[in-house]
């Protein structure tokens, strides 16, 4: 662990990109094949959770693991096909901050509850891989947000103490998980009306230039 290093741990959906519509469409199609009519409201209530949590909320706590995996695989395949066919755009301010922070020596890691294949598809579509030192995904942890596991795993991957990491998130569960991990937080109001983060903005394009340096000052 490098005591002088600083890290940025990035959530993806609602933070780097907005692909909620692709998630909605792919979940709706995957569940329609199971004769399950998913409503937009029910989708919104579970958005951002792990697939096993989502499917057991829909089908019951005893829904078999093999069925969870089968349906989730269909959903994620449909989602990646949409990314590859229709593309995806970085949210405002994202590319600026990825470049800026990389140039300033911050170690950057994706910290997402999404499957690794989804993250790879997004990063390939946007040519983002060069900005990140590591990726932490659903496969790296057993518990999703608001548990701190994904952020602790991401901090370990880049060799930075979680206390010297800033998490960029758009969801209350992510902010809570980051707090439990001992990280500082930047909340982006892209999907929720309020966030209890250290710094809150409507868009990363509105973030003051000294925000990250104030949250985690450089070692002296």
pLDDT digits (tens, 9 = 90+) for 159-189: 999 999 999 999 899 999 999 999 999 999 9
Q: Quote the CA–CA distance of 5 and 177 in Å, as a whole number.
A: 21
- Give the pLDDT confidence score for residue 180 in this predicted structure: 98
pLDDT digits (tens, 9 = 90+) for 53-109: 999 999 999 999 999 999 999 999 999 999 999 999 999 999 999 999 999 999 999
Residue 14 has pLDDT above 80, yes or no: yes
Where do the structural domains in the chain lie, given as residue ranges?
7-18+89-215, 20-86
- Give the pLDDT confidence score for residue 157 in this predicted structure: 98
Q: Quote the CA–CA distance of 46 and 89 in Å, as a whole number.
A: 23
158: confidence class by pLDDT, cuts 50, 70, 90: very high
Question: What top-level class would CATH report for the domain 7-18+89-215?
Answer: alpha beta
The CATH code for residues 20-86 is: 1.10.150
Nearest to 151 by CA among 178, 179, 119, 117: 178
* Mean pLDDT on 122-150: 95
pTM of the model: 0.90
Same fold, 7-18+89-215 and 20-86: no
Residue 220 has pLDDT above 80, yes or no: no
Helix residue ranges per DSSP H, the chain: 20-32, 40-46, 51-59, 65-86, 94-103, 116-126, 149-157, 172-181, 211-215
């Amino acid at each position: 662990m490098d005591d002088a290093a600083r890290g940025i741990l990035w959530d993806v959906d609602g933070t780097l990109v907005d692909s909620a519509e692709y998630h909605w469409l792919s979940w709706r199609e995957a569940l329609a094949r199971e004769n399950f009519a998913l409503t937009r409201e029910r989708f919104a209530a579970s958005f951002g959770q792990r697939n096993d949590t989502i499917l057991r909320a829909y089908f019951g706590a005893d829904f078999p693991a093999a069925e969870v995996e089968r349906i989730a695989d269909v959903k994620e395949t449909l989602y990646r096909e949409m990314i590859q066919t229709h593309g995806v755009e970085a949210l405002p301010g994202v590319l600026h901050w990825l470049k800026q922070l990389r140039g300033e020596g911050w170690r950057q890691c994706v910290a997402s509850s999404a499957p690794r294949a989804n993250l790879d598809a997004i990063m390939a579509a946007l040519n983002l891989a060069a900005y990140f030192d590591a990726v932490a995904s659903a496969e790296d942890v057993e518990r999703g947000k608001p548990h701190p596991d994904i952020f602790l795993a991401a901090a370990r991957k880049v060799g930075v103490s979680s206390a010297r990491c800033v998490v960029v998130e758009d969801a209350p569960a992510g902010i809570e998980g980051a707090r439990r991990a001992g990280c500082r937080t930047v909340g982006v109001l892209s999907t929720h009306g309020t966030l209890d983060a250290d710094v809150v903005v409507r868009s990363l394009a509105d973030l003051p230039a000294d925000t990250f340096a104030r949250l985690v000052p450089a070692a002296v």
